[in-house]
Amino acid sequence: MTFSPELEARFVKLMSNYPQGRQRAALIPMLMYAQDEVGLVTQEVKEEVAKRCGVTPLQVDEVVGYYTMLRSQPMGKTHLQICTNISCMLRGGDKLWEQACHKLGIGHNQVTVDGTVSLEEVECIGACSWAPALQVNYDFRHQVTPEQLDVLIDELRRVG
Amino acid sequence: MLFNAPHPAEVKVLTRRFGLENSHSLDCYLANDGYKAFLKAMEMTPDQVIDEIKASNLRGRGGAGFPTGMKWSFVPRQSPKPKYIVVNADESEPGTCKDRVLIENDPHQLIEGCLIAARCVDAHRGWIYIRGEYRYLIDIMDRAIEEAYKNGYLGKNIRGTGYDFDLSTHTGAGAYECGEESALLESLEGKRGVPRIRPPFPAVSGAFQCPTILNNVETYSAAPSILLMGGAKWAELGVPKAGGTKLTCLSGHINNPGVYELPLGFPVRRMIEEVGGGIRGGKKMKAFIPGGSSCPMLTGEEAWDLTMDYDAMAKAKTMLGSGGVVIMDEDTDMVKVALRIIRFYQHESCGWCIPCREGTLWLRKLITRLDAGMGSSTDISLVGELAKNMFGRTFCPLGDAAAMPIMSLIEKFRPEFEAKLAGVSVVSPELVRIA
């Protein structure tokens, strides 16, 4: 399997970051960056990364099964994560979550039928002092109001 | 750039460059004391540097509060194995968002902190383990590291000192458990983030089974300032057994939430009323979390007259923790708070040991039932009992982190749990009257 030249360059750099013979250490970063490019951790990605890190595909499965951010299922074009943990909940994060579920007609870790948006109720994303917060893919949005969330979801559904 | 307006009561040491134009750049860092502390450390012996850190009374800022100088001195420098530096930037404790601002606004301060730690134990390799959700911070850190390499502040023969040090970022992938030091090391090695049995501690056998210094972002970030101002002077900023300042994240029902750098021993009352601008809507404070959701909760009355330092919080049977202060007003539904907290710990339990895996699940089931107004009074006692039996009986501190807030909630807010059973919520006095 081939990756983009940028990702290949990143992998070479990653491999050099760890002591000789301990290249397994690059496994999680490689999976994360590969997922960014491919969209999910496919069987093909698993086998390729396993080969490069010198582990078995089963060992990759063990790791993928553990970490929330590594996904074997496709997500929407935009992945919307809403924090409902304590600091966000106290400032309306739970209401934002219900609003998003209702408006998109999907729940936790589900994708809209057209594949544009997926939704996740996320655990603390470290934005407690700027709550309620959410993430649009990797971008943070702070002190989100219900009106802003409405506009955001309309926009995501329109442009995908 | 992520930071709130500074408050006059703050003592800005680690955050003194925040707000300067391009504070994240090497140019700005160099123009404001940057990398001077490392060059100073190179003129000192490793023991002198460690003595300076010991004199500063710096304690680990990740939550446990272990004396940093002592931790660094545990590394066997004579060991033939390579020594490593690992930074814990897996900031995931609910209520905590301070490492974010430190990396975003001043990444070179962290790099210099790593260099100083490396100098103490003769380490030549380090990793900054950053949680996966903080991708934009990984990018900021990667750029800062690249800049440091290009200008000779990392790599071979750093600034002509003859010292070599390599540093890179390492992304996590969404696991609270990896904030626990031994689970973080497993994750760094490309495995599931399950904790290791200790001893041996990381100082002796850490990353790749080599002697390792593992500290929080804020701890390393303090090192350059300590060397520049002198350990004794840094110690004076705080209280007798804990020196310096602490980045405190105010969140919840407070008028001016934000991250503030306050000297250790700062009064809670001033922190809430003056720095935080008081409770939102002029309401009363019902509950107070001093340092992340795993700390035992205090009632408003218990918290008001305390000071923000390790010993004062320990005396009040809670912890200073990570500095994630969460404030809840009189209208907060404490059963919902309990449920949200236990849902988090149940989700994040790694499943390695049974008391935590089963305990958090049963607590979640029981509290879900109580929140729905079902169950019975004995269920409330059972929640307390379960939490008590989980405490101290798990492989790593996650079990304690789940048990402590729940035990304190049952102990201090039991009437709210009882009221839910009766079909009324004590959060609305109106409803109580009708009932």
The pLDDT of residue B430: 47
The answer to the question of residue B108 being in a domain is: yes
The answer to the question of residue B10 being in a domain is: no
B245-301 per-position pLDDT tens digit? 999 999 999 999 999 999 999 999 999 999 999 999 999 999 999 999 999 999 999
Q: Nearest-CA distance from A55 to chain B in Å?
A: 10
Q: Is the pLDDT of residue B431 over 50?
A: no
Among B329, B363, B383, the domain boundary falls at: B329
Q: Strand (E) positions, B172-236? A: 212-216
Burial letters B211-248, b for 16+ CB under 10 A, else e: bbbbbbbbbbbbbbbbbebebeebbbbbbeebbbbbbb
**H or E element, residue B236:** helix B231-237
Residue A27 burial (CB < 10 Å; 0-12/13-18/19+)? buried
Residue type, A99: Q
The answer to the question of residue B20 being in a domain is: no
Q: Nearest-CA distance from A129 to chain B in Å?
A: 5
DSSP state of B24: T
- Taking contacts as CB-CB distances below 8 angstroms, the residues of chain A near B192 are 62-63, 65-66
Give the residue numbers spanning the domain of B142.
26-236
The answer to the question of residue B21 being in a domain is: no
Q: Nearest-CA distance from A95 to chain B in Å?
A: 13
Q: Do A128 and B328 touch (CB under 8 A)?
A: no
The alpha helices in B64-168, defined as continuous H runs, are: 68-73, 98-105, 107-121, 135-150
Among B296, B329, B362, the domain boundary falls at: B329
Percent of chain A residues topping a pLDDT of 70: 99
Does domain A5-66 fall into CATH 1.10.10.10? no
Q: Is the pLDDT of residue A155 over 50?
A: yes
Tell me if the bond preceding B429 is cis, omega within 30° of 0. no
**Using CB atoms, which residue from B95, B208, B347 is nearest to A128?**
B95
- Residues B308 and B338 occupy one common structural domain: no
Q: Is the pLDDT of residue B137 over 90?
A: yes
A44-59 per-position pLDDT tens digit? 999 999 999 999 999 9
Residue B328's alpha-carbon distances to A94, A129, B290, B332, B333, in angstroms, are 15, 14, 12, 6, 9
- Residues B183 and B217 occupy one common structural domain: yes
B318-362 per-position pLDDT tens digit? 999 999 999 999 999 999 999 999 999 999 999 999 999 999 999
Name which of A91, A114, A94 is nearest A104 in CA terms.
A114
Fold of A78-159: Glutaredoxin (3.40.30)
Say how many domains are in chain B: 3
CB B350 within 8 A of CB B193: yes
B195-237 per-position pLDDT tens digit? 999 899 999 999 999 999 999 999 999 999 999 999 999 999 9
Q: Strand (E) positions, B158-208? A: 166-171
The answer to the question of residue B269 being in a domain is: yes
- Residues B113 and B57 occupy one common structural domain: yes
**H or E element, residue B250:** strand B245-252
Q: Which tokens belong to B238?
A: 């705080």
- Residues B123 and B265 occupy one common structural domain: no
CB B116 within 8 A of CB B227: yes
The answer to the question of residue B12 being in a domain is: no
Interface TM-score (ipTM) > 0.85: yes
**H or E element, residue A90:** helix A86-90
Closest chain B residue to A53, measured at CA: B190
- CB proximity list for B289: less than 8 A, separation 6 or greater: A86, B95, B295, B297, B298, B324, B325, B326, B327, B328, B405
Q: Is the pLDDT of residue B79 over 50?
A: yes
Q: Nearest-CA distance from A159 to chain B in Å?
A: 23
- Residues B116 and B153 occupy one common structural domain: yes
A17 touches chain B (CB under 8 A): yes
Higher pLDDT among residues B431 and B341, named by residue: B341
Among B310, B329, B348, the domain boundary falls at: B329
- CB proximity list for A54: less than 8 A, separation 6 or greater: A23, A24
Q: Do B328 and A90 touch (CB under 8 A)?
A: yes
- Residues B325 and B339 occupy one common structural domain: no
Rounded distance, CA B389 to CA B401, Å? 13
- Residues B41 and B170 occupy one common structural domain: yes
Q: Is the pLDDT of residue A39 over 50?
A: yes
The pLDDT of residue B425: 55
Rounded distance, CA A80 to CA A119, Å? 5
A17-38 per-position pLDDT tens digit? 999 999 999 999 999 999 999 9
Would you list the DSSP string of A23-58? GGGGHHHHHHHHHHHHSS--HHHHHHHHHHHT--HH
The pLDDT of residue A85: 97
- Residues B203 and B352 occupy one common structural domain: no
A136 touches chain B (CB under 8 A): no
The answer to the question of residue B268 being in a domain is: yes
Q: Do B344 and A63 touch (CB under 8 A)?
A: no
The answer to the question of residue B19 being in a domain is: no
Q: Nearest-CA distance from B54 to chain A in Å?
A: 30
Residue type, B158: I
DSSP state of B273: I
- Residues B115 and B252 occupy one common structural domain: no
- Taking contacts as CB-CB distances below 8 angstroms, the residues of chain A near B131 are 126
B333 touches chain A (CB under 8 A): no
| A-contacting residues in B 334-373 (Cβ below 8 Å) | 336-337, 340-341, 344, 347-348, 350
The domains of chain A are located at: 5-66, 78-159
Residue B104's alpha-carbon distances to A71, A89, B15, in angstroms, are 27, 25, 11
CB B243 within 8 A of CB B235: yes
- Residues B210 and B258 occupy one common structural domain: no
Q: What is the pTM of this model?
A: 0.95
- Residues B94 and B229 occupy one common structural domain: yes
Q: Do A139 and B258 touch (CB under 8 A)?
A: no
B393-416 per-position pLDDT tens digit? 999 999 999 999 999 999 999 999
- Residues B42 and B115 occupy one common structural domain: yes
Q: What is the CATH number of the domain that holds B306?
A: 3.10.20.600
Higher pLDDT among residues B2 and B174, named by residue: B174
